[in-house]
Amino acid sequence: MFRRFSLAGILITGTLAALPAFCQDANSYLKSEATVQEFGSFLKSTTSDGVRQSDTNSGGILANYRYFFTKNLGAEVDYGWTRDTQSYRLPTGPFGVKSDQHEVFAAGVYRHQVGSLMTFVEAGAGGLVFAPVNSLYSTQARAAFVYGGGADFNVTRRVFVRAQYRGLIYNSPTFDLLPLKGIDRYVHRAEPSIGFGYRF
């Protein structure tokens, strides 16, 4: 009988001792992520009131930080930079403004593990600042909506590769120029990206 109690005692003690480890494992997800990505910028051209607006396809850099409140729900902040030329086909002829574009966004994030991939979707808001390379033109800011999704491919528990798509919707810049007055309209920019990230 002593052996039965000893065996039962060992099993119970072992189970209770292991319980904190199981609980810790279930809640030991890494709460923070930081990534650096290279992205492409592709604006869908629009025509309104006889004026066609587009911009040159370009590339840029995107830095991202995410914090997760639960295993699946979190928030992120982004900063991105690119340079391209906003082009306008006016009745008097084509016109373009080369500018540095700074984007800052905050978004909610939902992630879900699918096999070895961590998939995610996001939506949020922020702004774009168009800073012309030529100082003759005015810097202009626009509010914007961002949405997107993608997947993280784990290299280790902490290091991963991120492939992502983001869509930006905003009012096109006019740089406060008289020939462009009143022709601003909502446009859509596609930003596919890839880069490396680190969890901590």
- Identify the three-state secondary structure at position 183: coil
Q: For 67-81, write each residue's pLDDT tens digit.
A: 999 999 999 999 999
The confidence score (pLDDT) of residue 199 equals: 96
Contacts of 80 (CB under 8 A, 6+ apart): 39, 60, 61, 62, 63, 101, 102, 103, 104, 191
Same domain, 137 and 66: yes
Pick the residue with more confidence: 16 or 183?
Answer: 183
Q: What angle do CA 127, 132, 134 make, to 5 degrees?
A: 170
The confidence score (pLDDT) of residue 142 equals: 96
Same domain, 56 and 100: yes
Contacts of 62 (CB under 8 A, 6+ apart): 35, 36, 37, 38, 39, 78, 79, 80, 191, 193, 195
Q: Which domain holds residue 4?
A: 1-30
Q: Of 114-118, 122-126, 170-174, which one has max mean pLDDT?
A: 122-126
Same domain, 23 and 35: no
Q: Which pLDDT band, with edges at 50, 70 and 90, does 48 fall under?
A: low
| DSSP tally for the chain: helices H, then strands E | 1, 10
The confidence score (pLDDT) of residue 158 equals: 95
Q: Which pLDDT band, with edges at 50, 70 and 90, does 135 fall under?
A: confident
Same domain, 69 and 20: no
